[in-house]
Amino acid sequence: MPRLSNLAATATIAGFMIAALTVSDTASALQLYGSVARGPAAARGNVISINPTFTNSYSTVGDPTVIGGLTGLAFDNSAPGPSGSLWGSQAFGLGSTSRLIEIDADDGSLINSVGAFHTDPNDVEGSDMSIGDLAFNPIDGKLYAITSDQANPADPGPVDGIYTVDTGTGLATLVGKTIWDTVAGIAFDSDGILYASGFDPEVGPFGTNMLFTFDLDNLIFDVTDPLLLLDNTRVTLQENDFILNGLGINPLTDEIYATEAETGKIYKINPVTGEMEFTGTPAGLSVSDLTFRVAEPGTLAVMGLGLLGLIFIRRRRAI
């Protein structure tokens, strides 16, 4: 009986250890990244690491750009490798052509400059586009982008809206046009639901910030314009002084974070009520987008298997 008691005690302790390691590693492995689109030349184009609890605290990861800023940033947590896969949209001014770049997530250096975002593989220059934000869908593994306001909306070229993007070429395929001003942020939750923070000029006398939710498996289109992407749901947001240009969602908790370009403020958004909790401002920076990095899933699995192995060894000895 004492041996069985020892076995039970070992299993119980191991269970607590697994739980403790899971909680500890989850907290330490989650990293919030931000991109800087404009502001002081020394910081423009930087990738920064932000404290997700007190977002006024940050450190610089690196600068993958020589010139220009980073309007969008997206981490592909499904990508293999020690540093995962971090992607950015490099821009050179309002309404300018954006370039897709791959970034080293550990030191912020440039891995590859893929080229301009474009919609026509036979006419890249004639179909290039300005991108405001990026996000990876954890369900289909695709990179999504939303356009930024074009310098002249009357100019011919790609329509403003949401696109999927080929990370090998920068070729963008239209998902649908949006019904609001495309200075907006996009992000996916862990179930593959797409959120967008957009300024809707049709609400109220002056327009307002809204949080739009899209179920990509059940999109609603206007019968009069099959390209017009309608919002499945919308919630009026509490803060309306400035447009929210960046969005990021914690993949472990589905908490929604938003950035305000003009002030650099970062908020957490309640998607049900639209209430916003101010979490801090990275001093002197205009944070254009947010994305979360999660440690390789094998880390916790290896720890768990190691503890189970200890239990097995103790059991063999006890029997």
More confident residue, 190 or 261: 190
Query: How far is the CA of 96 from the CAs of 1, 49, 122, 314, in angstroms?
Result: 75, 26, 20, 64
List pLDDT tens digits, range 37-75: 877 777 888 999 999 988 999 999 999 987 888 999 999
When pLDDT is cut at 50, 70 and 90, the band that residue 207 belongs to is confident
Q: Using pLDDT thresholds of 50, 70 and 90, give the confidence band for residue 165.
A: very high
Sheet-wide strand order for 69-76: 69-76, 85-91, 99-103, 110-116
| Helices 298-318/2-29 angle, 10° precision | 170
Q: Is-above-0.75 flag for pTM?
A: yes
**pLDDT surpassing 60 at residue 153:** no
